[in-house]
Structures are given as C-alpha cells and as structure tokens.
Amino acid sequence: MSQPDDFSDEPNGYSFTDDAMEGDLFSLTDELDHQILMHRDAHFGGDFQVMIRYYEEEGVGTQPDFELDRIAYLVQVEQELGQDLAALMLTAPEAEQVARARSTYQQLKEIYSIEEEKSPFPRLLADLILTEEEEPIREMEAVVAHGKRIVPELLNLLKTEEVYDPLFPGYGLAPALAAHCLGEIGGEEAVIPLFEMLGKKCVFEEEAILSAFVSLGDTARDFLIQQIQSRPLTQDTVHAAFALTAFAEELDVARLALKTLQDPEVQSKPVLRSYLLHSCEVLRDHPEKEVLLELADNPTLLSSFREEILSFTHHW
C-alpha cells in the first residue's frame, strides 16, 4: 500500500529531522520500535550490532515483524542523538518488563554454576529454554529420557506465563518444546495442560500442540470428544474442535463431527462449524457423506453455512 504524499521515505513513514529530534520522540515512533528496543535490551545486552548479526544469521529467536532495515534505521537515529533510545522511548512498565526478562536470564545461567545438583531437571529445562537450535533434538531427547519423573517439571513450565512471551528467555518457543516432550513421554496428566495452551497467544505454531495430542493418542482424543459433547458451547468447545482435526482421519471422529454439525446452535458458530466440517473429510468415502450433502439442501440452513458445505464437498 502506497504511503500518502506527506509521508517521508523513511521506514514506517517517520523522519527524524533535527526539529523532530528536539520534539517529543514518543510521537515519532510506533509500538514496533518499542518492541525492537525491548528485545535488543532483553536478549542482546542492549547492543544493536549483536542483534543485527543475529538477525542476519536468522537465529531461532528472530521476530518476523522486526525488519533489518528498521533496526538499522534505529541505530542511525541513536547515533545521531548520541543517546540510548531505550532510555528515551521506553515507558516505565516496558523497562520493568525488560529488567524481569534479564533477571530471568541470570537465574537460568546460575543453574549452570551449581556443580552438584540434587536433581538434573533444572539444568535440562534450562537447556530446553535457552537452546538456539531450530530442532533441538538432543535437548528434547535428554528430557524425554527421564520419562514420567520429569513430567511435573514440564507441567510447571507450561504454567509459567513468561515462557510464552518472546521477550523472555526462549523467545516464547519453550512451551512447544515442552509439549513435544510431554507427547513423547505420554500420560493423561498432560492432556488438560496442553489443552489450556490453546487458549494462550503463542508465537509458536499450534501444530506443536496437535502433534502432542496425536502422540498421546486415545487419551487425548477421548478428552477432546468429551469437550465437544459437553454443553453449553464455550470457547473450550471451539478449541476442542480445532484440536480434534488432528484425528480427522478417524471415522468415529468424523461421524461425531457430522452429528455435532446438525445442532442448530453449532451451525450458528462459524469458527466452530468450520473446524468440525474439516473433520468430516474422511466421510467422502462413506455413506454418511449423503447426510452432509442433504444438510446443505435444508432450506432453513444458514446460507453462509450452506455455501461452506458446498465449497468443502465440491471435489467429492
């Protein structure tokens, strides 16, 4: 989208002229600039050059919204001002959040300074959080090797709000790694904590949670089915329908989805019905497909849902 004529050629349409630098700096920057500075201070010791090298090498913690051109521009502004931009721009709550992130880094590093630990688990989880590997196979295998004994530690990790925040150690990716480990270890105690992860704003792909559910097998599937069947309909129902798509190849799951879609209340929930419809794909090779096609012919059906069914089944 082209910028209005009165916008400069600078990234985001901002220009730090001499007059602007003398004015209110806060009015010249957007939220993304604040985020860049916070990440610089939290993860890269406040050093723009270290951050730039990391982003050039596309480290696992790079944030997709942070463009190198914008980071370089902030470097230029900071040099021209001769002052630390973070000190000028960050609000007190933002600075406090950075301080907490750096403190967490220090706490994790202190774990490695303890020569004789009563338990190996803190160091194993620190390895999992601090890894810079895109696929930290070694770290995850080391955790999984301890089996059920380490599950409480993994569950505590999932309950720690900071690990979901890209500003904190692990860049928000540690919960996905913990989910993988829980799926490999197995056990019904992991199902609900993993399900609760679906309600969080995560930087990692939700596919990590679905993969863990598949690894947990019948225990996870039966829990999700129970959530679909319970009433009243809530956001948990939507999350369960989404998670159940991981088991969409199972005929019983498809039949449950089809039955649920016949509920008028469910039909009025676009996101919920979309997930359930996705789980009906396997029915194309079974007689039940006629039930879905007949549903689309129902004159009382919402037109938007009818179109959705027809679009979904057009290749059948």
Say how far apart CA 311 and CA 86 lie, in whole Å.
51
Residues of the chain with pLDDT under 50: 1-24, 26-28
What's the confidence (pLDDT) of residue 141? 98
Q: How many CA atoms lie within 13 A of 276 on its CB side?
A: 27
What's the confidence (pLDDT) of residue 200? 84
Residues 6+ away with beta carbon under 8 Å from 231 = none
pTM of structure: 0.85
What's the confidence (pLDDT) of residue 118? 83
Would the CA dihedral through 192, 195, 201, 203 be positive or negative?
Answer: positive
What's the confidence (pLDDT) of residue 14? 41
Asked if 179 and 207 touch (Cβ cutoff 8 Å), the reply is: no
Q: Tell me the three state secondary structure of residue 112.
A: coil
Say how far apart CA 9 and CA 28 lie, in whole Å.
14
Angle at 189 between CA 137 and CA 143, to 5 degrees: 20
Q: Report the 10 Å Cβ neighbour count for 259.
A: 15
What's the confidence (pLDDT) of residue 114? 84
- Peptide bond preceding 232 in cis form (omega within 30 of 0): yes
Q: Locate the DSSP E strands across 178-272.
A: none
Asked if 36 and 66 touch (Cβ cutoff 8 Å), the reply is: yes
Q: Locate the DSSP E strands across the chain.
A: none
What's the confidence (pLDDT) of residue 287? 95
95 — phi, psi (to 5°)? Answer: -65, -35
Here the tokens at position 177 are: 């790694």
DSSP code for 2 = P
Residue 59, class by beta-carbon neighbours within 10 Å (0-12 exposed, 13-18 middle, 19+ buried)? Answer: middle
Q: Tell me the three state secondary structure of residue 91.
A: coil
Overall residue count recorded for the chain in this entry: 316
What's the confidence (pLDDT) of residue 55? 98
How many helices and strands in the chain, by DSSP H and E? Answer: 19, 0
What's the confidence (pLDDT) of residue 133? 96
